[in-house]
Amino acid sequence: MDKILTVEEMMRVARRRVPKMFFEYADSGSYTESTYHDNESDFAKIKLNQKVAVNLEGRNLKTTMLGKEITMPVAIAPAATGGMQTADGEIKAARAAEKFGIPFSLSTMSVCSIEDIAENTTAPFWFQLYVMRDRQFIYRLIDRAKAANCSALILTMDLQILGQRHKDIKNGLSTPPKFTPYSIWQMMQHPTWCLRMLGTKRHTFRNIVGHVEGDHDLASLSSWTASQFDPTLNWADVRWIKERFGGPVIVKGVLDADDAQAAIDNGADAIIVSNHGGRQLDGAPSTIRVLPEIVDRVGHKTEVYIDSGVRSGQDVVRALAYGAKAAFIGRAMLYGLGAGGEAGVTRVLEIIRKELDTTMALCGERDVHNIGLHNIYSNDIPPRNAPKPRG
């Protein structure tokens, strides 16, 4: 793992080690994938301002999220089917995050369950909630998160209707995998992956199996899940979810300043500027493009985070410069899992930390809290409303 120097290199290793259907689940967007690609390319358009002859000793990357100190302004995003990139994937990612001192977020659609993470880690983690039609199941899911001492709930608002992902359809993706000639052929090309999967009991959506009625037929689980996303989800739901959970609720999926304001008005404790990694509305703007106007609207009231397209420490600096409190990584974490399990995720975090530290220093800063618009040299996609520099 030490020879891997970038997240892009980690992606190439994961591509070789993970069956095509599962790698492409992580590495794809909806429809034409235009938003998926814009998320990365728009970050790259932002040029940084180099400063010299500055005392760079005693640099600090530590900050806080929801009042808790973390080692750098990065968190693990909730990402489905991490346990299909490698056996027990979410457990391995959670362990890596805990050792690194940053938050880990578990998806509703994870392979490892809430209880699996709680039993295999000691640090409180965050749980991401999809609201489904079966509200009794959602009540139980929230209660399970409370029982596992999850310290925050991430409420995803942009999956009322599922965006079509062509690669998943063509690959016949399912969890657990359907044993068709095509899927068997894919898996046979990755014997190490297969052997690891044979060594675990975790092969399906364990937050769901055994917790809803009529889910004993695993072949129908994916169709049940797709039919359960609730199109009636609205801002009023934030309040009862927060009351049921009894702790901080972070609203995820915000791309509009008015929506950010509505989230805060209805009790959100923080927001994540996110377009679901380009997996929902194809043609939506990149997250870094809309971040400044959202920070301008609500950044003085709440913590604003960002995900979708963050692939480097340089991207983290760019996000901080435009007012984000921290950045979430999802795909980068999945690449790490596919390439090397827990060690792969740890290596991804090391890469991003090194890039963040070096980039901050070369921009003339010693503390992440002082990164702001003065660290940006130029931007080919200027925001409509630029926020005030941080610090």
pLDDT one-digit tens code per residue, 136-169: 999 999 999 999 999 999 999 998 888 888 887 7
Tell me the one-letter amino acid at 357: D
Cβ of 207: how many Cβ atoms within 10 Å?
Answer: 26
Give 257-300 pLDDT, tens digit per residue. 999 999 999 999 999 999 999 999 999 999 999 999 999 999 99
Q: What pLDDT does 193 receive?
A: 87
Q: What pLDDT does 205 receive?
A: 85
Give 44-95 pLDDT, tens digit per residue. 999 999 999 999 999 999 999 999 999 999 999 999 889 999 999 999 999 9
Structure tokens at 170: 């063509």
Least Cα distance to 306 among 289, 291, 285 occurs for 291
Residue 214 is assigned to a structural domain of this protein: yes
Residue 232 is assigned to a structural domain of this protein: yes
Q: Domain total for the chain?
A: 1
Domain enclosing residue 145, as ranges? 7-379
Burial class from Cβ neighbours inside 10 Å (0-12, 13-18, 19+) for residue 185 reads exposed
Please report which confidence band the pLDDT of residue 176 belongs to, taking 50, 70 and 90 as the band edges. Answer: low
Q: How far apart are CA 375 and CA 37, in angstroms?
A: 25
For the CA atoms of 14, 18, 20, 23, what is the dihedral angle to 10 degrees? -50
Q: How far apart are CA 54 and CA 30, in angstroms?
A: 45
Q: What pLDDT does 279 receive?
A: 93
Least Cα distance to 164 among 278, 310, 41, 15 occurs for 278
Q: Residue holding tokens 């199996």?
A: 209
Residue 60 is assigned to a structural domain of this protein: yes
Sequence-ordered alpha helix ranges (H) in the chain: 7-17, 20-26, 34-44, 89-100, 114-120, 135-147, 166-171, 181-188, 191-198, 221-228, 236-245, 257-265, 287-298, 313-321, 331-362
Report yes or no: 30 and 356 within 8 Å, Cβ to Cβ: no
Residue 390 is assigned to a structural domain of this protein: no
- The pairing of beta strand 376-379 with beta strand 46-48: antiparallel
Structure tokens at 211: 């917790």
Residue 389 is assigned to a structural domain of this protein: no
Give 228-260 pLDDT, tens digit per residue. 888 899 999 999 999 999 999 999 999 999 999
Q: How far apart are CA 320 and CA 86, in angstroms?
A: 32
Q: What is the CATH number of the domain that holds 135?
A: 3.20.20.70
Q: Is the peptide bond before 177 cis (omega within 30 degrees of 0)?
A: no
Average pLDDT of the segment spanning 177-188: 74
Q: Is the predicted pLDDT of residue 371 greater than 90, yes or no?
A: yes
| Phi, psi angle pair for 64, to nearest 5° | -130, 155
- Name 304's bridge partners: 271
Please report which confidence band the pLDDT of residue 204 belongs to, taking 50, 70 and 90 as the band edges. Answer: confident
Cβ of 147: how many Cβ atoms within 10 Å?
Answer: 11
Please report which confidence band the pLDDT of residue 355 belongs to, taking 50, 70 and 90 as the band edges. Answer: very high
Angle at 107 between CA 84 and CA 312, to 5 degrees: 80
Per-residue DSSP letter, 83: G
Q: What pLDDT does 369 receive?
A: 98
Q: Residue holding tokens 């894919």?
A: 186
Q: What pLDDT does 382 receive?
A: 56
Q: What share of the chain is helix, strand, coil (3-state, %, to 5)?
A: 45, 15, 40
Q: Is the predicted pLDDT of residue 389 greater than 90, yes or no?
A: no
Catalytic residue among 37, 190, 211, 276: 276
Asked which of 214-218, 309-313, 380-384 is least confident by mean pLDDT, the reply is 214-218
pLDDT above 70: percentage of residues in the chain: 92
Q: Is the overall model pTM greater than 0.75, yes or no?
A: yes
Residue 391 is assigned to a structural domain of this protein: no
Please report which confidence band the pLDDT of residue 188 belongs to, taking 50, 70 and 90 as the band edges. Answer: confident
Q: Is the predicted pLDDT of residue 123 greater than 80, yes or no?
A: yes
- The pairing of beta strand 63-65 with beta strand 68-70: antiparallel
Q: What's the chain's average pLDDT?
A: 91
Structure tokens at 132: 């489904």
Q: Is 284 helix (H, G, I), strand (E, B) or coil?
A: coil
Residue 2 is assigned to a structural domain of this protein: no
Is 276 designated active site?
A: yes
Residue 78 is assigned to a structural domain of this protein: yes
